[in-house]
Structures are given as C-alpha cells and as structure tokens.
A = this chain, B = another copy of it.
Amino acid sequence: MTDDSDAPAAPPERTVVQNAELALLLEVTGTPKPGNVDRAHEYDDLRFEHFVVGAVGARPGLRLAADGERLGRAFERAVAGMSRQSGGNTQFGALLALVPLVQAAATGDLTRERAGEIAAATTVDDAADFYRAFEHVSVAVDDPPDGLEPLDVRRGSGAVPALRERQLTLYDVMERSAEVDGIAREWTGEFERTFHAADRLLALDGSVADRAARVFLELLAAEQDTFVAIQHDRATAEEATERASAALEGDTDPWTLADEFVAEDVNPGTTADLTAAALFVALERGLDV
C-alpha cells in the first residue's frame, strides 16, 4: 500500500453536456441584459427560476446531441424537457443554436466549419422534429410568406406531410428563415456571430456574468434582434440596436436601458440566445468560472 492509495482521484472534467447546460444558466445569470429575464429582472409569469428549470430540463436532449443522435430529434427532446415549467418558452432559440455546437464538440473539434457541416447534413426527418418542437411551447413567429402556409411552423407536426412532400431538410428550413431569424442565420453562416462573441467572452476581464452582460450588449449594438423585429417591427429593432450602442458607449446606463426595455416590452431574445451559444463555445475553449 503506497502513501497515495488513500488520496482522492482528481476532480472530473466538465463534459460537453455540462458545459451546454452551464451556458444556459450563465446566460440568464448575466445582468443587466436589457429587455430580457436575468438574475435581476423578471416578469410575474416568466421568472428567473423558469429559466433555471428550463436549462436543467433540456439536458436529456442535449445529451442526445452529444451522443450523435439526429439533430432534429435532439432538439425536439431538449425543447420538450425545457418546456416542463410554467413560464412557457424560455430557451427555444438557445437550444436551436446549441445542438449543432454540442454535437460538433462531442464528436470532434468545435470549429465553425464542423458546426456548419453538421447543420448542413440534417435531413427531412430533422425538419419534421423541428416542427414537432413547436408543439411543446408557444414561440412567437411571423406569418409565413404567401404560398408557404403549409409550412407555417405554428402547424407543428401538422406540417410534416408538406415537409416530406417538398423534401425539405432542417438546413433547408433554416435557409428559408435566415433573413428573418438570427439563429437560422447562424446555422447557415457557420455560426459566425457565435464564435466571434465567444472570442469576446474569452478576451474580456471580470466575472463571467459581467462578461455575458457586456457581450449581450455588443451583439445587440452590432445587429438588429430578429425577435424584436417579429415582436414589434423593424423600426423598433433598429432603434433597440441604436440604444444598445449608446449604452455600450456609456451614453446611457445599461440598467436604465433595462428598465426602459422592460417598460416598452422590448425583449431582444435572439441576442440572448446567441449569448448562450457563445458562452458554450467559450466554456469549451477554457473560459474559467
């Protein structure tokens, strides 16, 4: 018996799935993220705790993504698990951004190219799962363009026959949404903004929560939030971006902007989803907490 035989084993490394769950939790921990639920901002019917339960509930679906399950299926199960809380939709967009990244990280190198390849390799079955996911929670979306009513995501699994008929993959569906949805644009653009924001998270100083809040503001100042555009209109989204720029440059206190956005019901949710995805990439690349 050596001297070391009684010593404990080293602490385990965090797994890819743990990092994905942690990214969801750290996103909502960062404050202020003007207009969104965070550690210091919530609504009566959509509270911080709902995001915590959503993150823990999403885990089995994230596990499937890491295990190499079809992306659509992993996403649908993640959303189903996320939906088991009374707040409603907490992390639909964040999970959509995360699943290809999780699969890339768990099956090889987490690079933009590989994440893009994994997204591009999705099938019609994945698209069907994506539509099924809309049955678990109410997600704010615009009316589909003329002629595309059969593919309205609000039809849920009712749209699956139309998907099959047209042989649309999940990647095809994302391509058709890229103009109006910031997460779809990540799917079809090799997650450009996600990886850039991850670099920023790694480069900044301070607590991870503070960095997440800062990167949220940088993302919002750089590009219009597509959820705000759907929720209100393009002009409101453009104005939100300008006000985020002012907060970033110190002309407005971000806490004041947070109060204003809450009062005006301006919720840059897509930017929060991107922040969560960026946190995951940063954690995989060694972000210390």
Contact = CB atoms under 8 A, between A and B. Distances in A.
6 contacts: A8-B156, A11-B84, A12-B57, A18-B57, A22-B53, A53-B289
A209 B288 CA distance: 27
B49 A209 contact: yes
A29 B85 CA distance: 16
B52 A25 contact: yes
A66 to B, nearest CB: 14
Interface string A1-44: 00000111111111000100110011001000000000110000
Given A7-B157, A59-B18, A157-B7, A29 B52 contact: yes
Q: 8 tightest A-B contacts by CB? A: A8-B132, A6-B157, A11-B80, A6-B160, A53-B289, A22-B56, A25-B52, A7-B157
Interface string A115-144: 000000000000011001101100000000
A29 B48 contact: yes
Given A49-B208, A86-B289, A288-B86, A136 B76 contact: no
A284 to B, nearest CB: 14
- Interface of A, helix, strand, loop or mixed by DSSP: helix
Copies of this chain, how many?
Answer: 2
Interface string A153-164: 000111011000
A163 to B, nearest CB: 10
Interface size bracket, A side:
35 or more
Contacts of A49: 26, 29, 207-209, 289
A165 to B, nearest CB: 13
A107 to B, nearest CB: 20
Contacts of A50: 289
A47 interface: yes
A88 interface: no
Given A29-B52, A48-B29, A80-B8, A57 B128 contact: no
Interface string A41-83: 0000001111011001101100000000000000011001101
Contacts of A12: 57, 60, 77, 80-81, 84
Contacts of A160: 6
Interface in A85-103: 85-86
